[in-house]
Amino acid sequence: MTQEKLDGVIVATALPYAEDGSAPAGLRVDLDRYAEHCRWLIENGCRGIGPNGSLGEYSSLTSEERRAVARTAIEAVGDDGIVVVGVHGVGAHQAREWAEKAAEDGAHGVLCLPPTMYRANTAEVMHHYEQVASVGLPVMVYNNPIDTKVDLLPPVVAELARLDNVVAVKEFSGDVRRVLEIRELAPALTVVAGADDVALEALLMGATGWFAGFPNVFPAESAHLFSLAQQGKLTEARALYEPLVAAFRWDSRTEFVQAIKRGMELVGRFGGPCRPPRGPLPEDKLAALDADLRRAIAHLAAHPVAA
Ligand SMILES: N[C@@H](CC=O)C(=O)O
């Protein structure tokens, strides 16, 4: 397979469930609906699909379910885009095994968090990524200090970039000054905006990808925003982006999975419930979320992007 660049709009996909008493927590992963969602995202201008991220509730899945989700995305996308599979694991051994499965299944790349259970030091982080990169697929490092407690600062990212097969970083710290710093320290690395609420800022500072949650809700608009930013059309990009940011901020909050599924429902897609430990949002949170989502939806209805 030709090696594809891990850039453009890549959607950290949400996962649909169907009620099923025999499945864990009474919720069966609905692979047919998931395949349809992956295809809809690609048809609406997104370049790639990211199954088994935290938005995809990978930690609530059985191993069989997790592999089936990755395979479903790969099959659904076919030759029309790229699939970057989440291979997060508590340790290097698990992450490497998931990367091996992703390679067997035909993924274009893998997204990998540092060790997830404790504050690993730099040598341990290096070992973790050496193991994953040794599988041979292009690796996107995932800096998500909110989820992992390990903050991969730009000098560490640059050190990781020296490993064979480490080609990109999804930067989710929210500190956009890092985009330029990483580009300075590791010019060959693809920097990807990892959080929706600083996506435009990161793209303007040289990120060439956007890999996050809200493109599940607004794929065509996200693809259009990405294109405006890449063309340097700042006035148009800001006019599209700024009214969406209040909604986009939910992507960086604890309730991001419920928030994005709710957004999908408000635009007429299926969102549905989450597997435990995530439960329904309390009423006050839901009301605040709905207000932000409805403002974003109204803005886009008043300013539709060309198909
Ligand atoms: N943190 C999420 C994506 C958010 O933007 C994930 O990794 O799935």
User: CA-CA distance, 296 to 73, in Å (whole number)?
Assistant: 28
Contact 146, 41 (CB under 8 A): no
User: CA-CA distance, 182 to 194, in Å (whole number)?
Assistant: 14
Q: Kindly state the DSSP code that residue 282 receives in the 8-state scheme.
A: P
Is 306 within the bounds of a domain?
Answer: no
Q: What number of other Cβ atoms are within 10 A of residue 253's Cβ? A: 13
**Domain CATH for 212:** 3.20.20.70
Is 129 within the bounds of a domain?
Answer: yes
Q: Using alpha carbons, select from 205, 248, 251, 213 the residue that is nearest to residue 230.
A: 205
Give 192 Cα–ligand 1 centroid separation in angstroms.
12
Please tell me if the CB atom of residue 111 comes closer than 6 angstroms to any atom of ligand 1: no
Encoded tokens for 223? 């693809």
Please tell me if the CB atom of residue 55 comes closer than 6 angstroms to any atom of ligand 1: yes
Q: How many domains does the chain have?
A: 1
What's the domain range around 158? 8-241
The residues, ordered by sequence, that sit 6+ positions from 6 with a Cβ below 8 Å of its Cβ are 48, 82, 84, 108, 109, 138, 140, 167, 168, 190, 192, 209
Please tell me if the CB atom of residue 213 comes closer than 6 angstroms to any atom of ligand 1: yes
User: CA-CA distance, 201 to 220, in Å (whole number)?
Assistant: 19
Q: What number of other Cβ atoms are within 10 A of residue 65's Cβ? A: 20
Give 249 Cα–ligand 1 centroid separation in angstroms.
12
Is 199 within the bounds of a domain?
Answer: yes
Q: Kindly state the DSSP code that residue 186 receives in the 8-state scheme.
A: -
Residue-level pLDDT, tens digit, the chain, 307 residues: 568 999 999 999 999 999 999 999 999 999 999 999 999 999 999 999 999 999 999 999 999 999 999 999 999 999 999 999 999 999 999 999 999 999 999 999 999 999 988 889 999 999 999 999 999 999 999 999 988 889 999 999 999 999 999 999 999 999 999 999 999 999 999 999 999 999 999 999 999 999 999 999 999 999 999 999 999 999 999 999 999 999 999 999 999 999 999 999 999 999 999 999 999 999 999 999 999 999 999 999 998 887 6
- Return the residue whose CA atom lies nearest to atom 4 of ligand 1: 212
pTM over 0.90: yes
B/e letters for 78-101, b = 16+ CB within 10 Å, e = fewer, are eeebbbbbbbbbeebebbbbbbbb
User: CA-CA distance, 244 to 253, in Å (whole number)?
Assistant: 15
Indicate if the alpha-carbon torsion angle 123, 129, 133, 138 is positive or negative: negative
Is 282 within the bounds of a domain?
Answer: no
Is 287 within the bounds of a domain?
Answer: no
Encoded tokens for 135? 């599988």
Half-sphere exposure of 55 (CA within 13 A, CB side): 31
Q: To test ligand 1's pocket by mutation, which of 9, 10, 52, 55 has the most ligand atoms within 8 angstroms of CB? A: 55
Is 148 within the bounds of a domain?
Answer: yes
Contact 83, 49 (CB under 8 A): yes
Q: What number of other Cβ atoms are within 10 A of residue 216's Cβ? A: 25
Indicate if the alpha-carbon torsion angle 31, 32, 33, 35 is positive or negative: positive
Please tell me if the CB atom of residue 112 comes closer than 6 angstroms to any atom of ligand 1: no
User: CA-CA distance, 143 to 33, in Å (whole number)?
Assistant: 30
For the CA of 12, the closest atom of ligand 1 is 8
Is 294 within the bounds of a domain?
Answer: no
Please tell me if the CB atom of residue 197 comes closer than 6 angstroms to any atom of ligand 1: no
Q: Using alpha carbons, select from 141, 173, 145 the residue that is nearest to residue 157.
A: 141
Is 226 within the bounds of a domain?
Answer: yes
